[in-house]
Amino acid sequence: MKASQEQAERLHRFAHDLRNRLAAMQQAAGQIADADPADRSDLLTFSEQQFFKAMRATEELLDDLSIDRDMIQPKVERIDLKELVAQEIDQLQHRFQRKGQIIDAQLVGPIVINADPYWIKLLVAALLSNASKFSALGQPIGVRLSSDGTRACLQVIDKGVGMGPEDLAQVFVRYAMLASRTTSGEAQGRSTLARAKKWAEAHDGSLQVSSNGPGEGCAFSLRLPLA
């Protein structure tokens, strides 16, 4: 189906903007090798900004064209969330050990939910990986699993870099350019948490975050209906 005039104009503007950003990144990359340390840092920051702006523009274009990017209908089954969380902690031990991080897990259970185990595993792994990335070497990470009688509540609590009000407002926006940085140079795609929130909502649940500010760590809270 041929694009409408409005869609064609939107795509043309997007393509023009994307080419400009890619060209800017290419120029910066060509200057990095011969730059002094201070200029090299500025060039890397500039390139990162251009990358996130390009990715964010892509997301906005897909939104404008009503392209559905949410997960498919989950294949629901009864699963023990306590067992699933414990398994994901074990699966990510290599990451925690590399940074000398200890997981302080307090898991009440069994806690049975109706959910798609594939997507819930990805969701839990995203929260654990995020806490590790934004926590310094040797810092503990708390994992709390409980139930209030109607919903399961999983909290992942770190003492890492934390977030200010502006970052908190955008943490679930795909490819938003946030001020917080990983502590050991880990990649930060800035889309996983946005997708994790969608995964929670697809299961009639919610995902929220709180922080007392930069340097004060973060607490992510996932709530899912009990079976």
Mean pLDDT, range 170-177, rounded to an integer: 86
Tokens of 201: 């909502």
Q: How many CB atoms lie under 10 A from the CB of residue 131? A: 27
What is the residue whose two structure tokens read 């400009």? Answer: 20
Confidence tier at 86 by pLDDT (50, 70, 90): very high
- Residues 174 and 56: beta-carbon distance below 8 Å: yes
Mean pLDDT of all residues belonging to the chain: 89
Confidence tier at 23 by pLDDT (50, 70, 90): confident
* Beta-strand relationship, 141-147 and 112-115: unpaired
Mean pLDDT, range 129-142, rounded to an integer: 95
Confidence tier at 116 by pLDDT (50, 70, 90): very high
* Beta-strand relationship, 218-225 and 141-147: unpaired
Mean pLDDT, range 138-160, rounded to an integer: 96
pTM over 0.85: no
- Residues 151 and 160: beta-carbon distance below 8 Å: no
Q: What percent of the chain is modeled with pLDDT above 90?
A: 56
Separation in Å, CA 44 to CA 38, 52, 173:
10, 12, 22
What is the residue whose two structure tokens read 């990144």? Answer: 25
Residues listed for the chain: 227
Q: Output the 3-class SS for the chain.
A: CCCCHHHHHHHHHHHHHHHHHHHHHHHHHHHHCCCCHHHHHHHHHHHHHHHHHHHHHHHHHHHHCCCCCCCCCCCCEEEEHHHHHHHHHHHCHHHHHHCCCCEEEEECCCCEEEECHHHHHHHHHHHHHHHHHCCCCCCCEEEEEEECCCEEEEEEEECCCCCCHHHHHHCCCCCCCCCCCCCCCCCCCCCHHHHHHHHHHHCCCEEEEECCCCCCCEEEEEEEEEC
Give residues with Cβ within 8 angstroms of 20, minimum separation 6: none
